Amino acid sequence: MRLLITGVISLILLGSLSARAEAGLFNPESFTLDNGMQVVVVPDHRAPVVVHMVWYKVGAADEPPGKSGIAHFLEHLMFKGTAKLAPGEFSKTVAANGGRDNAFTSQDYTGYFQSIARDRLELVMSMEADRMVNLQFGEQDMITERQVVLEERRQRTDSTPQGQFYEQVAAALYLAHPYGTPIIGWEDEIIRLDLEDALAFYRKFYAPNNAILVVAGDITAAELKPLAEKYYGVIPANPEVIQRELPHEPPHRAARRLTHSDPRVAEPSWQRMYIADSVNWGNPDHTLGLQLLSDILGAGSTSRLYSELAVNQNKALSIGAWYSGVNRGPGNFGIYASPAPGVSLEELEAAIDAEIDRVLTDGVTAEELERARTGLLADAIYMRDSLSQGARVFGSALSAGVSIEEVESWPDRVRAATLEDVRRAAEAVFRPERSVTATLLPEERS
């Protein structure tokens, strides 16, 4: 089963996009092929292993109206083979050479990756470049894989009350933006996807000048460049490729509420999502403050919401917050909670609103900011232990239009963040008219 990624790697890519890092975060090397394909190398020579990733700057947000799910559907079809490779042979070849491979689709990009020994890198590069332009699939392949996608949707979304709930919350959050459409697609539209839909999407968006090659591991740019030119550099650029300008999200003028109930739900839960500034939407200068704010409010047992509502007031069994802002379109800021026994959802919501009001009135403390700062910087250091994390950071950042320099300067911006940055971010995001408050309830039995 292929992977659906809706919003990953926002942790180390956020903030005021200005200063240059004194010490690099990953110290990558980069070059661009003559056909427009950007290449990033993240050297790590601790083991003779590499992660090879190709990121296409196209995702679910780029789908034509009425064709939801086509980006993810094509991701599945990319494993159907070429004139050189039989269906399924790509993954079998990777596995036979001691590696692993997979793919993922998000709103903004689609990625394909292989983790493999350094001396097998050329093999996977040749296969990935082949399917960039020589993909072959027929009507029966399309019918079979469409059923796989439909079954995946049933397992991930339709068969779980939580999956249905989160899908409806996202749909309610956006008034016009395609981020409100699920990445996997709406079932009634998936059913109607056909061979020509998939081929048209492939021909329009899969080209070297709409792709980013990221290789992390035991290799240098000097070693990779001849291979990149040999396999990817010979593929002609597609002059018709133009990254779609995403639809405008109109002003939000009223808070929205949503309730979903299901007999399979054991305990009620509460969630609120806000439209938020991102690196490409609203005010990008708020993104670092929003990341710090989400950490202060809801990251772990020492966060403000958990320590106050779960420990001190005993009103929540679980509670937390998140922020996603490395997007081509709007970001989102969320808070989730489950009430303690005997506490109503209304009482829990009132307590959460009181904490939000306290942040807006009094701000956060210097101690809270320093704890969040230390945690984020530590997480960034730990990320260096993973080959794939560095590759994912640069792929997702570059797909969103963030530069390598901005990624590398992130630690400096975290160190320079102030209480005022967090206060301004809180004022920008905590606006009721830009929110959806949702409750998931056990269905009452008569």
Active site residues: 75
* Burial readout 373-410 (b: 16 or more C-beta within 10 A, e: otherwise): bebbeeebeebeeebebbbbbbbbbbbbbbebebbbbb
CA distance 172 to 160: 19
Q: Provide the phi-psi class of 165: left if phi over 0, else alpha when psi is between -120 and 50, else beta.
A: alpha
Query: First CA to last CA across the chain, in angstroms?
Result: 40
Q: Which residues contact 229 (CB under 8 A, 6 or more apart)?
A: 33
CA distance 251 to 55: 32
**CA distances (Å), origin 301, targets 372, 396, 415:** 13, 29, 23
If you search the block for the tokens 């992390």, which residue do you land on?
Answer: 216
Total residue count of the chain as it appears in this document: 446
Q: Please count the other Cβ atoms lying within 10 Å of the Cβ belonging to residue 77.
A: 24
Q: Nearest Cα to 26, choosing from 291, 396, 288, 409?
A: 409
